[in-house]
Amino acid sequence: MQEVAALLLCKIGGKAGSADDIAAVISAAGGEPNTDAIASLVADVEGKDVNELLAAGMEKLKDVPMGGGGGGGGGGGGGGGGGGEAAATAAVEEVVEEEAPPATDMFGGGDGGDY
C-alpha cells in the first residue's frame, strides 16, 4: 500500500513515478522500500494514466455497498403487570440546592462602586 501512496505522491510532484522515485519517497518517509512490490507496481501501471486508473477504480467502487443499512426497529417492549410494587419502593432523592455566594464586582468590592 505504501508503494501506491508513494507513486501517487510522485505523480502529484510532477515526477515520472519510476521505481527509483517510489523507493526514494518511501525512504524519505522513514519506510523500508520493498523492491519486489515496487517493481510489480511499476510494471502494472506502465503506459497507463494514473487519472484514468483512479476514475476506473471509482467507477467500480460505486457498486460496493458502503455504510450502514440503518438500524432495525427498536426492541419490543417488556411484558406488563406487577410494576406497582417496584415503583412504590423506589428511593426518592431529595435535591438540596446550594446557596450561591453573594455577587461581587470584578475587583472584589461588593458595593457596586461608582458605576
Residues 45, 21: Cα–Cα separation, whole Å: 14
At residue 64, the pLDDT reads 84
Are the C-beta atoms of residues 77 and 57 closer than 8 Å to each other? no
Q: Please, which pLDDT band fits residue 111 given cuts at 50, 70 and 90?
A: low
Q: What was the pLDDT predicted at 25?
A: 93
> Which of the 8 DSSP states describes residue 47?
T
Query: How far is it, in rounded angstroms, from Cα 57 to Cα 65?
Result: 15
pLDDT digit string, tens, across residues 11-43: 888 888 899 999 999 999 999 999 999 999 999
Model confidence at 99, in pLDDT bands (50, 70, 90)?
confident
pLDDT in tens, 40-77: 999 998 888 888 988 998 888 888 887 766 555 566 66
Nearest to residue 23, comparing CAs of 35, 14, 15, 36? 35
